[in-house]
Chains A and B, each alone.
Chain A
Amino acid sequence: MTVVAEVAGSRELLGNLVQRELRGKYKRSTIGWAWSMINPLALALMYTLIFSVVFKAKLPPSGSGLNSYPLYLLTAMLPFNFMSNGINGSMGALIANSNLVKKVYFPREVLIVAQVLSWDVSLLIEMGVLSVAFLVVGNMVLPWLPLVVVFVFFETLFVIGVGLALSVLNVYFRDVQHFVAIFMQLWFYATPVIYDYQTQIRDRILASPTASNPHPIHHFYNHDWILWLYKANPMVGFSNTYHAFMYKLTFPVWTDMVWPIVASGLMLWIGMRVFRRLEPRLAEEL
């Protein structure tokens, strides 16, 4: 694909743009990079208070018998926020750099890739800190970390794919970003971040009738297609996989690993197609 070739051909530019994003992000703030940690921690605290303390959400025990809602939450929330930030950032990247796009020629895909990679740097730092926290409470995540990195890589491809498509669409239709903002909220709750997939979704849909639960959801729908629909969201697979690797210290079911990888490739392909299709008139439409 020409997109891949062009991005590969401008590695130095990519590196410099990522640096620009990172330096620009926390320049002139007193605690700088600490903000990158404070945001997820504040969210984790808030969700823990609401869902764990107020609503008494139950979690499955971890591989080492760990039962910590905040850690469980952060394991999937950090990658989800990466996805959300990466897509939002990509969507604004062409418009924010319109003076560049209109005055200089360079492969424009680089702007989106740089945007996503800059969020990758934040994610890796956050996941690193999270891993330390897991080790402190006795969850031996170290052997699983290489696999986590592999899935972060595929998630990055997924985000770049979505980002490429939405970034150009947003130039043509500026309210795409408002639709996406709403969609992100739905997406968050449709993904097992604040709740556990196994106990809250799967078991409840597939449960057999029992004395205490004579009408499980399964019998209302009579099919597990609703589960398929739910799992069509690639972020479900990603979340389950991160939860399995880092919190439960085990492998998820194979579909949770394969579908996100396939979906990433598919999304990247679609993203590149859309970008290529709409790119030629970019400088005029901006």
Chain B
Amino acid sequence: MFGGVVPHGTPGEIAVRVENVSKRFRLYHERNQSLKAAMMRGGRAKYDEFWALKDVSLEVPTGTTFGLIGQNGSGKSTLLKCMAKILRPDHGSISVRGKVSALLELGAGFHQELSGRENVYLNGSILGLSKKQIDSKFDEIVDFAGLEKFIDTPVKNYSSGMYVRLGFSVAINVDPDVLLVDEVLAVGDENFQRKCSEKFADLRASGKTIVLVSHGLDTVRTMCERAAWLEFGVLKDQGAPGDLIDKYVETTHVDRVATEGGGSHWGSGEIVCTQVELLDGNGNPTLWVHTGEPATLRFHYSANEPVSRPVLGFALHSIEGVHATGINSREAIVPESIDGDGHVDFVISRMPLVAGSYDVTVALVDESNLHTFDFHTRAMRFDVGRGLPREAEGVFAIDGIWKFE
């Protein structure tokens, strides 16, 4: 997982050239299309036009791993499908040098009644392999999917994990010059994921061109040499993934509104957490801090009767659902009694969370932890931008210093 891999293959050549590509979709007002309806109307159904891609031009040099980033509906998948020739652009042209394989849906075209073996041959030929080529790769495909024992079982009896593993294994062994990948890296268990990452590393090292659509910005950052950013079908920017992703994250996260969270309360309600705020180093409310910066989480409460010895705890979850941490005030301070409105601060000297979005869940309980006054799930969401350390993975960046002796 080190950036800056030198592209192999024939440098300077363009593997995928996208020129002024526009793609229009039709959004039909009524979806039932019948001849009768068409005749009554004197034509086809009425529809609105929607431009999924607008005048996009980009070049993917041979041997590079190219990332496409953007929010949902930005046209990344449409562009990938155009490259794969599944969709045809309305304007412009796309030329691809060499053999293309697209990992859009794993196991598309598997026949439920046929065995794994038969489906390997069927799917292989759909992806453009000859029987001889499949013969020579068959053991590798089965071995990679880890399905030796089940290869003669009909795939309808496969678990969904086995199904996608076999699909992935066939698709990755097509030995394409250009591999188009849409969000399918996250299949199978950890062991299989590791094998996939290794396979991708091999493909990159052997000079294959990979175009990757991903929401996992870290994947793009670590795997890609170049990236393009699409927004509402328009190519917003392209360049080295590091800077591009920083720009993308800064731009898209400004939009967050403070009311977000949409969490729920439960509890007896003598005291409730009314609001959670994030304050930056200067004490100004924000929803956006960088790793390594000082920050404060401020919990506003409102008690409608005196509450004795309350304990406040909070948990942070990444938006992927990883429980990052959970801390409570029992060890630090337990007030004898509180009443009315007020707030409690949790001061963070250096934000240890790595870049990402996090949800705050707050709990107000009594000292024995047996009675819950208020449990407020996802009371607030905030974002952490890339700061120092810059290249950090996981959830936390351990606070430490490097020393070379």
Contacts and interface: CB of A to CB of B under 8 A. Distances in A.
Contacts of B26: 284
A104 B113 contact: no
Interface in A103-142: 103-106
Nearest to A173: B35
A173 B85 contact: no
Contact of B114 (A13, A24, A100): A24
Given A103-B86, A175-B36, A16 B81 contact: no
A13 B125 contact: yes
A127 B88 CA distance: 43
B333 interface: no
A183 interface: no
B46 to A, nearest CB: 15
A208 interface: no
Q: What band does the interface of chain B fall in when counting residues whose beta carbon is under 8 Å from A?
A: 20 to 34
A284 B89 CA distance: 12
A106 B128 contact: yes
Nearest to A27: B113
B84 interface: yes
A283 B125 CA distance: 20
A175 B34 contact: yes
B118 A23 contact: yes
Contacts of A174: 32-34
A132 to B, nearest CB: 31
A105 B102 contact: yes
B13 interface: no
The secondary-structure label for the interface of chain A is: helix
Looking at A13, A16, A175, the one whose CB has the most chain B CB atoms below 10 A away is: A16
Nearest to B89: A280
A100 B35 contact: no
B25 interface: yes
Contacts of A189: none
Contact of A20 (B32, B35, B111): B111
Nearest to B100: A105
Interface string A249-286: 00000000000000000000000000000001101100
A12 B135 CA distance: 13
Contact of A284 (B25, B35, B36): B25
A104 B127 contact: yes
B113 A99 contact: no
A56 interface: no
Contacts of B38: 173
A166 to B, nearest CB: 12
B122 interface: yes
Interface in B266-310: none
A12 B36 CA distance: 40
Given A13-B126, A103-B104, A104-B102, A23 B86 contact: no
Contacts of A12: 125, 130-131
A283 B87 contact: yes
A283 B86 CA distance: 7
The 10 tightest CB contacts between A and B, nearest first, are A103-B108, A103-B105, A105-B85, A280-B88, A13-B125, A100-B109, A175-B34, A27-B113, A16-B125, A103-B104
Given A20-B114, A281-B88, 7 more contacts: A10-B125, A13-B125, A16-B125, A24-B111, A101-B86, A104-B84, A175-B35
26 contacts: A10-B125, A10-B128, A15-B125, A16-B121, A16-B122, A16-B125, A17-B122, A20-B114, A20-B122, A99-B105, A99-B108, A99-B109, A100-B108, A104-B104, A104-B127, A105-B84, A105-B86, A106-B126, A106-B127, A173-B35, A175-B34, A175-B35, A176-B35, A179-B35, A283-B87, A284-B25
Interface of B: 25-26, 32-36, 38, 44, 81, 84-88, 100, 102, 104-105, 108-109, 111, 113-114, 118, 121-122, 125-128, 130-131
